[in-house]
Amino acid sequence: MLALLAANNTGWVIGYVIGIVVVLVVVALVVPILLLARSIGGQALRINAGLEDAVRHTGSLKELNTTIESATAITEGLRRGRQKLGG
C-alpha cells in the first residue's frame, strides 16, 4: 500500500516540476520582450517630441507660395522700371 502511495505522489511531483519549469521558461522569454517594449516606448516619445518641434519650426512654410508670388510681383515691377529707364 505504501509503494502505491509513493508511486502516486511521484506523478504529482513530476507534474509540479514540469509546471514550474514551463512557467520559468515563459517568464524568461516574456521579460526581455517587455523590457524591449519599454525601451521602444521611450524612443517613441522622443521621436514624437522631435516631430512636434519640426511641425512648429516649419509651420510658416505654408505661406511660402504667398512669399513667392510677392517676390515675383516685385521683381517684375523692378524689371519694368529698368526697361523704362533704358536699362
pLDDT of 15 higher than 80: yes
Q: How many separate domains does the chain show?
A: 1
Q: Which pTM was predicted? A: 0.54
| Band of residue 78 on the pLDDT scale cut at 50, 70, 90 | very high
CB environment 64-85: b (16+ within 10 A), e (fewer): eeeeeeeeeeeeeeeeeeeeee
Per-residue model confidence (pLDDT) at position 9: 77
Give the mean model confidence (pLDDT) for residues 48-69. Answer: 91
The overall average pLDDT reported for the chain is 89
Residue numbers of the domain that contains 33: 2-84
